[in-house]
Each structure stands twice: as structure tokens, then as C-alpha cells.
Amino acid sequence: MKRPRILLADDHALMLDGFSNLLTPKYDVVGTVEDGKALVEAAIRLNPDLIILDITMPILNGIDAAREIRKQLPQVKLLFVTMHTSPTYLQAALEAGANGYAVKSSGRSEILSAVEKVLGGSRYITPGVGGDGLERSGNDPAQAAASLRLTARERQILQLTAEGKSRKEVAYALAISEKTVAFHKDNLKRKLGLRSTAQLTRYALDAGLI
């Protein structure tokens, strides 16, 4: 029987190693990536059965990466494994096409169960995600909601700016002009009621984008 093929995406090498060790006895881990842009490229190239991905990743966050992947690979299964427990993130993940949503504090047996259920065609959500106790330990849902109302391009620019990239570096990464980057940054400040790059960076940190 053919073993399911899984692609892993997380910006922490230890998490990738842990997932690989957990899954390889039963599944084929066909690749690992550490940022959202690389994830989209690897997904299209490898066409896995399942992608396990985080939300907070460099260059392109997992929500936007999932949206891009879903356009190209409507059949692929998407399982988010993340630290974010706010219902805002859960809703955004589901709207982006997630088939499952688990938290990083889950035990090995729960992760394996989530993988099995998602590959089997069922939806899996960690019990209690979005509940009052969990939500208090996560990011501010109001900030998360505001971030997720931004356009995909605005979130990309916000994330790259907060990662410390210059206007020129952002333009190069996204294959757009520096003038376009400046235009979007001005829109970001206006939408979020902020005045400086430092405030944009703080906002992105508080909202869990980096």
C-alpha cells in the first residue's frame, strides 16, 4: 500500500525534526521548508497528500500560503499545527482551506490522530481551541482580526517590514517597485492607525505575524 506523502513547514528546525521523526515510521516526509514562500513553491513542485504547516512563518505567513496552495492544489490536505489558540486564527485557517487545526502543545498521540483523521477525509480541531482559557494565553483577538482584514499584499509587506527588511529588500522579495511598497506601507499605517515603521513592527509582533 502506498504511503501518504507529507510536506512539513515550520520556521523552527527542531519542530521540523520532531515532526519528521514522529511521522516517518508510517508516512513519507517528502520535504521540509522554513518559510511560507518556500512552502508554496515546494507544494506545487512536490504535490504531497498532506501539508503540515504553522501560521507564523517568515516572508509569507501560513494563512496566506494556504490560500495560494489551495488555488493550485485544491485536493491537498492542510493541517495547521500552531501556537495560536484564538478563534480568530482558527476561523482564518478554515477559511483558507484548512482540514485540521492542532496546537503545538498537543501530545504525540494527538498529532498522529490529527494526521490520520485529516488524511482519511475528516476534519480535526484540537478540543478547546478558542475557549476562554486558551484565548487568554494567545494573542489579542482584536489585533489578529485587524491583521487578517488586511489584503494579502499588505500582510506580506507588514510581515517583511517587521522582519527588518528595507523598502528595497521588500520590493525585491515581492517583485514589485519600491514606490508600490511605500504606497502599501502608507495604507497600512492609515488602516491600523499607526505612524511609524517601529509601530508597524510592534503591531506585527503583538498580532503574531512574526
Closest to 145 in 3D by CA, of 101, 87, 66:
87
User: What's the pLDDT at 147?
Assistant: 59
Closest to 142 in 3D by CA, of 187, 184, 89:
89
Grid coordinates in use for 130? 478558542
Compute the distance between CA of residue 210 and CA of residue 204 in angstroms, rounded to an integer: 6
For every one of its 210 residues, what pLDDT tens digit does the chain have, with 9 covering 90 and above? 789 999 999 999 999 999 999 999 999 999 999 999 999 999 999 999 999 999 988 888 899 899 999 999 999 999 999 988 888 888 889 989 999 999 998 899 999 999 999 999 999 999 887 554 334 334 454 555 555 567 878 888 988 998 899 999 999 988 999 999 999 999 888 888 888 989 888 888 777 666
Largest CA distance in the chain: 58
Nearest-10 Cα torsion for 114, 115, 121, 125: 30
User: What's the pLDDT at 209?
Assistant: 66
User: What's the pLDDT at 28?
Assistant: 97
User: What's the pLDDT at 141?
Assistant: 47
User: What's the pLDDT at 130?
Assistant: 57
* Cβ atoms 162, 200 nearer than 8 A: yes
User: What's the pLDDT at 136?
Assistant: 38
Domains of the chain: 5-136 (3.40.50.2300), 141-207 (1.10.10.10)
User: What's the pLDDT at 109?
Assistant: 94
Handedness of CA 28, 114, 43, 143 (dihedral sign): negative
Q: SS3 for the chain, per residue? A: CCCCEEEEECCCHHHHHHHHHHHCCCCEEEEEECCHHHHHHHHHHHCCCEEEECCCCCCCCHHHHHHHHHHHCCCCEEEEEECCCCHHHHHHHHHCCCCEEEECCCCHHHHHHHHHHHHCCCCEECCCCCCHHHHHHCCCHHHHHHHHCCCHHHHHHHHHHHCCCCHHHHHHHHCCCHHHHHHHHHHHHHHHCCCCHHHHHHHHHHHCCC
